[in-house]
Structure 1
Amino acid sequence: MLVSLTVGKVDAGVAVLLTEDKRLIEFPSILLPPSITSGSIVDITVAQNFDAEQKSQAAFESLQSQILNTYGLRAPATPELRLRNATQSTIVLEWDPVQLATTTLRSLALYRNGQKAGNIPRPMDMLSTKISGLQMNTEYSFYMILRTSGGTYTSNTLTVKTHDMSNLTGIRVTPGVLPPQLRESLETAVERIGAKIVDSPRIDTTHFVCTEGRGKDWERANEMNIPVVRPEWIEGCEREGKIIGVRGYYLDANPKHRQIGSNPSLSGPAAMASPASQQAMAASQAELPVRQQQQQQQQPPDPKSPDRESTVSGEPGPEVNEPPSPPPKDEGEGHHSQEPEAGSHDDGDESENEGPEVAPPRVANDARPEATSQEVEESSDEEEPVSTDGARKSRESQEDPRDKGGEMEDVDL
């Protein structure tokens, strides 16, 4: 189709063309010959390009298919919540990796009993969470809400009930440094109570069992705040038939703080410790540090007392020498029968002067009192003579017993 147009005005890249019926058409001046001016007549041919239309339509349909395959066929996956482990006060939940398709993540939140418990940190990397501080033997409901730029998706509702005290199936034990025999007995005891052993510390590990605090697993357990206990804790749970506290079973704990009880349901032969277990426990006790062995003693050793086992309070040591005990009074009367060796008057004066001077140091340096005591015993066996001297008897009745002791010691001077 050929059309003749008259150039009316050329201004700033736009030319005004006039048709034969006096209609104005704005036309880009760059498409006109450069020599045109106002009043020039130009012929413009207009035709439909079918080949170009087909190509354009094919390109548009290809783009539509690409958009449909990219954004229309895949959508964010709805989270599926599962129970990984449950104990008396904790619950561990897990889920599959978050599938966002082409959307952008806004948040991933966990709800407990219809109320928001909190957002999951790093939802693209975290695939599990642990809820602590729950009530024992109580039912809880959980679900998750995934918010993305392409919509909001709610997971399934999971109902979980915490365990009671006698349910030990939720215990997950990670063994650390243990003797071979003790490790075998630990695995057997864990199997008997229905618990499980995991190779390395993880989110559902409830206790780390070892006899020595060293190794990478021990360090990781401390970082994760997992209780580190001795193997006796498992046997304590089995013995009492319920989960017990870990205070007395730490590596440096006092064994007196341990709970002691009995499980009636485990009173049969199966509940008795095997000989291998007893040997392993003995080997474990031999490896305890010196500090723990001192804590197990009820009373610390006293280096100042050479004889701690004596039950007599205030008993002196073997290096202390005591003076011989004074003989009975009647033996003193028998002593006066030996008047040819020492006079009665001199004996009395001598006993009064030397009685107070008898002391343990003097007895320790002088061996004569021991011989004197033997002579006194021999004289006591003899027949006591009858004394008719009333003055002598009255003087002897007024003497102090301590003076008599001194007199008996100096009898053969």
Structure 2
Amino acid sequence: MLVSLTVGKVDAGVAVLLTEDKRLIEFPSILLPPSIRSGSIVDITVKQNHSAEQQAEEQFQALQSNILSRYGLQAPSPPVLRLRNATQTSIVLEWDPIQLATSTLRSLSLYRNGSKAGNIPRPMDMLSTKMSGLALDTEYSFFLVLRTSGGTYTSNTLTVKTHVMENLTGITVTPGVLPPPLRETLESAVERIGAKIADTVRIDTTHFVCTEPRGDAWQKAVEMNIPVVRPEWVEGCEREGKLVGVRAYYLDADPKLRQIGANPSINHQSRDSMAGDTRTPPVRTSSVQQARANQSQTSLPSRGPRSPDKEVGEPGPSVAPTPELQQGEVQRQKDKDLPPDPPRVDEEDEDESEEDGGPEDPEKQRSQAESEEESEEEKENAQRQSSKGRTAEAEAGDEKGEDMEEVAL
């Protein structure tokens, strides 16, 4: 297409061209020949470039496809929340790495029972968190909320229940500096109570066990505020059958403060082991030896009864020996003076039993001892009554003497 235009005015940068119908067109003066001046007529040819248009269209579509594949097809993924460990008062939660795609992270928040518990610091690096100070044997619900430039995403809701005192499966022990035999004993005790052992200090480590406060692991446990206890703490939990306090099991604690109870299951095992023990039982006193001891006690001479009114350091009425005791002494003296009787053939077995020290009938010895005790009690009662009677007569005499003195006066 050929167009004839008249140059109206030429400036340094723009030239004004006039059409045949007197319309003004601003045209770059740099595209005009240098000899052009006002009133010159120029012919301009205009045509469409189809190849350039097609190339531009292809470039534009490629750019749109790149934008769609990079920003339109991928989106941030909602976090997946899991339970790592639970104890009586704490819960450790973990999740997969955050997938933001091309979006920008704004915040990652943790919610407990529908209320915001706080923001997770450094959410791109931290993949777990610990909730402490929870109630015993209580159910809680948790979920995460991810906020990005591409939208807000909520994780799954996790329902967790804290343990009871008797549940020791949530304990995770990290051993420190320990003698080899003590470490083996610790591993056996931890296995018996159903707990776990971690070689390194982790976020789910509940207790650090050692005998000496040194080492990198001990330093890390102190920085993470993990209780550092002695191996006896695990034994205390096993004996109590529940989670015990750590204050009495610190490295510098007094051992006297430890109160170790008795686990019924452990007592049952100890009783079974004692029942299966084949060692020699303790020696018990037989009935024959007991009868001999009773016979020796009853053969001793009984002492004369004391006066009930006599006190220490004060004179009192003396009690004469009873006639029965005197007669018994005389009879024993006569028996000593007589020669021994010859042994009889019919009583060989009886003599052998007496030489062997065989006891007589225990029932007969017991009845004789009881009769002697009753006779002694009767004698003491009679003496008490007689002494009381003499005291009453003396008091009556004193009163009668005072009456006579008053009459004389």
Q: TM-score normalised to the size of structure 2?
A: 0.65
| 1:230 and 2:230 correspond | yes
Determine the C-alpha separation between the residues in 2 that align with 1:166 and 1:232: 18
Q: Write the mapping of 1:90-109 to structure 2, written as runs, cut at 5 A.
A: 90-109=90-109
Structure 2 letter corresponding to 1:243: L
The answer to whether the 8 A contact 1:174-1:198 is kept is yes
Name the residue aligned to 1:214.
214
Name the residue aligned to 1:132.
132
| Structure 1 residues 330-374: Cα deviation after superposition (integer angstroms, max 9, x where no partner) | xxxxxxxxxxxxxxxxxxxxxxxxxxxxxxxxxxxxxxxxxxxxx
Structure 2: which 5+ residue stretches go unaligned? Answer: 274-409
Tell me the number of residue pairs that the alignment of Structure 1 and Structure 2 aligns: 273
The answer to whether the 8 A contact 1:7-1:41 is kept is yes
| Structure 1 residues 168-192: Cα deviation after superposition (integer angstroms, max 9, x where no partner) | 1100000111111111111111111
Name the residue aligned to 1:89.
89
Deviation at 1:115, TM superposition (A): 0.9
Determine the C-alpha separation between the residues in 1 that align with 2:125 and 2:38: 72
Q: Structure 2 vs 1, CA of residues 10 and 270 (structure 1 numbering), >3 Å: closer, same or farther?
A: farther
Structure 2 letter corresponding to 1:11: D
SS at match of 1:268: helix
Determine the C-alpha separation between the residues in 1 that align with 2:82 and 2:10: 76
Deviation at 1:259, TM superposition (A): 2.0
| Structure 1 residues 18-58: Cα deviation after superposition (integer angstroms, max 9, x where no partner) | 11122222222222222212211111111111111111111
SS at match of 1:267: helix
Determine the C-alpha separation between the residues in 1 that align with 2:110 and 2:32: 69
SS at match of 2:163: coil
Structure 2 letter corresponding to 1:121: P
Determine the C-alpha separation between the residues in 2 that align with 1:164 and 1:272: 28
Name the residue aligned to 1:48.
48
Structure 1 letter corresponding to 2:56: S
Determine the C-alpha separation between the residues in 2 that align with 1:247 and 1:121: 31
CA RMSD of aligned residues (A): 1.7
Q: TM-score normalised to the size of structure 1?
A: 0.64
Name the residue aligned to 1:80.
80
The answer to whether the 8 A contact 1:244-1:259 is kept is no
Structure 2 letter corresponding to 1:99: Q
The answer to whether the 8 A contact 1:7-1:42 is kept is yes
Deviation at 1:216, TM superposition (A): 1.0
Structure 1 letter corresponding to 2:49: N
The answer to whether the 8 A contact 1:7-1:15 is kept is yes
Q: Write the mapping of 1:318-333 to structure 2, written as runs, cut at 5 A.
A: none
Deviation at 1:272, TM superposition (A): 10
| 1:189 and 2:189 correspond | yes
Deviation at 1:109, TM superposition (A): 0.8
Deviation at 1:268, TM superposition (A): 3.5
Structure 2 letter corresponding to 1:106: R
The answer to whether the 8 A contact 1:83-1:92 is kept is yes
| 1:198 and 2:221 correspond | no
Name the residue aligned to 1:23.
23
Deviation at 1:233, TM superposition (A): 0.5
Deviation at 1:11, TM superposition (A): 3.3
The answer to whether the 8 A contact 1:190-1:196 is kept is yes
Structure 1 letter corresponding to 2:33: P
Which structure dedicates a bigger proportion of its chain to helix? 2
Q: Structure 2 vs 1, CA of residues 228 and 271 (structure 1 numbering), >3 Å: closer, same or farther?
A: farther
SS at match of 1:76: coil
SS at match of 2:84: strand
Structure 1: which 5+ residue stretches go unaligned? Answer: 274-413
Q: Structure 2 vs 1, CA of residues 272 and 238 (structure 1 numbering), >3 Å: closer, same or farther?
A: farther
Name the residue aligned to 2:166.
166
Name the residue aligned to 1:144.
144
Q: Write the mapping of 1:112-131 to structure 2, written as runs, cut at 5 A.
A: 112-131=112-131
